[in-house]
Amino acid sequence: MNIDEIKQNFAKNIIRLRKSHHLNQTELGEELHYSSKAISKWENGETIPDIDGLSAIADYFDVTIDELISDSKAVNRSFTIRNRFYITLSSCLLPYLIALVIFTFLFVKGINLSYVAFAFGGIASAITGIVLTRIWYSRRAVFAFITYLVVASIITIILMLNFSYWWLVLTIGVVTELILFVFFKIHFPSQDKNLQIKK
């Protein structure tokens, strides 16, 4: 491969990777600490980053440098976006499962406000979602879970005040999270397809 072929391959691959993460050139530049002008030059095949830059980009997109500069089958990872969605979903539901165990234990012991365990489960679920989306998705995706964290925190405060319709508040919390995941799945419908860069 000569340098021109490398530039063209890199241009094609960086465009597809950027789009698969639903980032524009400015947002990608902010993530990688480059100007949008530099990103534009890469995507036009005019320039290519130095080895340190390529290494940082490869780390960010979870690919190898070879996959970035090759006209490859590239970017076919075991962790596809689809898997990441279901891992995120499962991880966010786990705090509720733990909360159910705690609730059952406290309820059997006759401890008042045992249902508050679900509210703290909601906060833990939201924080888990924020962490995973920040690692695997763009900053815009994190906002959805920050919104849910606010909702979960309000629910917790209400329950700590011994709100008499606690079951209604908890139902609202669970429905909010389900709506969040439906929104998230719809908002990022094609990421799993875009992750594969074809010849």
pLDDT, position 196: 37
Domain shared by 120 and 141, yes or no: yes
Quote the CA–CA distance of 38 and 26 in Å, as a whole number: 10
- Is the full-model pTM beyond 0.85? no
Q: Considering only 59-63, 101-105, 189-193, which range has the smallest mean pLDDT?
A: 189-193
Position 87 pLDDT exceeds 60: yes
Domain encompassing residue 154: 81-191
Domain shared by 49 and 85, yes or no: no
Domain shared by 89 and 157, yes or no: yes
Position 30 pLDDT exceeds 50: yes
Domain shared by 40 and 132, yes or no: no
Q: Pick the last residue of a domain from 75, 103, 132.
A: 75
Q: Pick the last residue of a domain from 22, 45, 75.
A: 75
pLDDT, position 154: 83
What is the CA 172 to chain-centroid distance, rounded?
Answer: 23
Position 139 pLDDT exceeds 50: yes
Residue 199 domain flag? no
Residue 62 domain flag? yes
Nearest by Cα to 194 from 7, 21, 23, 72? 21
Which residues have a Cβ under 8 Å from the Cβ of 105 and sit 6 or more positions away?
Answer: none
Q: What is the mean pLDDT of residues 156-178?
A: 74
Count how many domains the chain has.
Answer: 2
pLDDT, position 49: 92
Distances (CA, A) of 14 to 72, 107, 136, 177: 13, 54, 17, 33
pLDDT, position 187: 59
Position 9 pLDDT exceeds 50: yes
Q: Pick the last residue of a domain from 22, 52, 75.
A: 75
Quote the CA–CA distance of 36 and 40 in Å, as a whole number: 6
Residue 196 domain flag? no
